Amino acid sequence: MRPIIPDYLAEALGDVEPDTSGEPAAYIPELAAADPERLAAAFATVDGRVYGAGDVDVPFTIQSISKPFAYALALADRGFDPVLAKVGVEPSGEAFNEISLESGTGRPLNPMINAGAITVHSLVGAGNPGPAERVERVVHGLSAFADRRLAVDEEVCASEMEHAHRNLAIAHMLRSHDVLTEDARGVVDGYTRQCSVLVTTRDLAMMAATLANHGVNPLSGEQVVPKPVVRQVLSVMFSCGMYDAAGDWATQVGIPAKSGVAGGLIGALPGRIGIATFSPRLDRHGNSVRGVSLFERFSSDMGLHVMEVPSPGRATVRSNHVVGSGPDALRVLELQGGIDFAGAEHVVREIMETAPPETRVAIDLTRVHAIDDVARRMVLEVARRLTLDDHEVHLVDPETILPDPDPGDGGRVTVVRDVDGLGLPSA
């Protein structure tokens, strides 16, 4: 059988191929010379499977797609406060290379525009690394996201540095506000090296999948950056990743994303998938024309908009029934799926509304594959209140999905591996 997803990706590429509008970035001569017909798309799942079509193994420079990853590294290396003190998280609604800083503080508005990204570059690395050590930390960190040793394209880097007047102007402004505290040119040089790291569409999909997978690279299993850092990075990508097109993107595509002027584009859908596309012609915002079309299509074909997640709530209570009769009767609430706040609210409501007359109540977690912290606390609180109302509460938990279930404060639960372990009265 022909594989379904690569066929779908190839068809999507075929549909956008005739669109030759836009221009490759001209302000970096090496990029202007790139083949504008290159076209690729790849999906990487959070368990490490990559599907691709087109030029997925053709290398190009990462450019601004390095920004969210460098931001992640700075947050991981320094902690949130020192980074937030220097770079804000507000969408700027301006072009990526706008020479603008927050009035009063001189802080760049966010880490996705160049002013913010140049500052973030200066914050990567614990302690106070020198410029070369810092670049090495960036390249090493980006490589961990990709699970492959990446390298800098020296030609593209030199070509951009020769024309980096704008970024130098931004850096000097940052220096004059003491947002940068070291030699402005050195920082721009390091930032330009960061932007010149070579990646393929396949690499970018895997890097995005690492963000989608709570910071754990799906192939190596390495926790590249902590979970709270990933939440911060994805939030900023959602509001600022597409520069002055961020609002259109958020409403129409709805996937945390980042574009680069070499033509790359990534999207990371939390808990689900990493996506990357490559096509060098850019629109007036500096985003890949065909890349934007592909993402619009992927989002609508596959229901990937983050605001469109199916509610797990309704389906959490699989059944609510009684086994046996008389004083030994057992009330069983069979739960299923992944349980979060909305799901736990249904469990709580179901129990409140049932107000079980039976003394014995079993909460059956056999079909539950995950339960988050708030849901765990809510289920245990229900168990505690049931105990206080003179119920005997059992938790059926064969796979220890809810370890050490201590409802505290007068609550008591007995854990069993299966419902049969409850010595059921024969019905």
Q: Per the structure block, which two tokens stand in for 427?
A: 């019905």
167 is in an annotated binding site: yes
Q: Closest distance between ligand GLN and the C-beta of residue 102, in Å?
A: 20
Residue in the shown chain whose Cβ atom is closest to ligand GLN: 64
Catalytic residue (one of 56, 261, 347, 382): 261
Binding-residue total with ligand GLN (CB under 6 A): 11
197 is in an annotated binding site: no
Q: Per the structure block, which two tokens stand in for 217?
A: 């690279």
Position among 16, 39, 40, 114 found at the interface with ligand GLN (CB under 6 A): 114
Closer residue to ligand GLN in complex, CB, 41/65 = 65
Residues between 133 and 152 that touch ligand GLN (CB under 6 A): none
Q: Closest distance between ligand GLN and the C-beta of residue 72, in Å?
A: 17
Q: Closest distance between ligand GLN and the C-beta of residue 223, in Å?
A: 27
- Which residues sit opposite 43 in a β-bridge? 51, 275
Q: Left if phi > 0, otherwise alpha if psi is -120 to 50, otherwise beta: which for 109?
A: alpha
Whole-angstrom Cα distance, residue 70 to residue 90?
Answer: 18
Residues between 196 and 255 that touch ligand GLN (CB under 6 A): none
191 assigned to active site: yes
Catalytic residue (one of 120, 143, 191, 288): 191
Q: According to the binding rule CB under 6 A, does residue 261 interact with ligand GLN?
A: yes
Q: According to the binding rule CB under 6 A, does residue 63 interact with ligand GLN?
A: yes
**CA 169 centroid distance within chain:** 32
- DSSP E strands in 121-230: the ranges are 198-199
311 assigned to active site: no
Residues 6+ apart with CB under 8 A from 241: 68, 112, 249, 256, 257, 258, 259
Whole-angstrom Cα distance, residue 291 to residue 287?
Answer: 8
191 is in an annotated binding site: yes
330: helix, strand or coil: strand
339: helix, strand or coil: strand
Catalytic residue (one of 46, 66, 67, 156): 67
Q: Left if phi > 0, otherwise alpha if psi is -120 to 50, otherwise beta: which for 143?
A: alpha
Whole-angstrom Cα distance, residue 275 to residue 109?
Answer: 27
Residues between 77 and 106 that touch ligand GLN (CB under 6 A): 96-97
Closer residue to ligand GLN in complex, CB, 98/364 = 98
Q: How far is CA 44 from CA 47, 203, 273, 327, in A?
A: 8, 9, 6, 54
Whole-angstrom Cα distance, residue 314 to residue 87?
Answer: 41
- What does DSSP assign to residue 387? H
Catalytic residue (one of 243, 317, 323, 368): 243
Q: 80: number of CA atoms within 13 Å, CB side?
A: 9
227 assigned to active site: no
Q: Closest distance between ligand GLN and the C-beta of residue 152, in Å?
A: 12
Whole-angstrom Cα distance, residue 290 to residue 39?
Answer: 8
Closer residue to ligand GLN in complex, CB, 31/422 = 31
Residues between 177 and 196 that touch ligand GLN (CB under 6 A): 195
Q: Closest distance between ligand GLN and the C-beta of residue 66, in Å?
A: 8
Q: Closest distance between ligand GLN and the C-beta of residue 143, in Å?
A: 19
285: helix, strand or coil: coil
Closer residue to ligand GLN in complex, CB, 153/364 = 153
Residues between 150 and 169 that touch ligand GLN (CB under 6 A): 160, 167
- What does DSSP assign to residue 402? S
Whole-angstrom Cα distance, residue 269 to residue 368?
Answer: 23
Q: According to the binding rule CB under 6 A, does residue 260 interact with ligand GLN?
A: yes
Site string for ligand GLN, 325-354 (x = CB under 6 A): ------------------------------
369: helix, strand or coil: strand
Q: Closest distance between ligand GLN and the C-beta of residue 270, in Å?
A: 23
288 is in an annotated binding site: no
215: helix, strand or coil: coil
Closest by CA to 345, choosing from 389, 306, 312, is 312
Q: According to the binding rule CB under 6 A, does residue 286 interact with ligand GLN?
A: yes
Known binding residues are: 64, 114, 160, 167, 191, 243, 261
Known binding residues for substrate are: 64, 114, 160, 167, 191, 243, 261
Catalytic residue annotation: 64, 67, 191, 243, 261
Q: Which residues bind ligand GLN (CB under 6 A)?
A: 63-64, 96-97, 114, 160, 167, 195, 260-261, 286
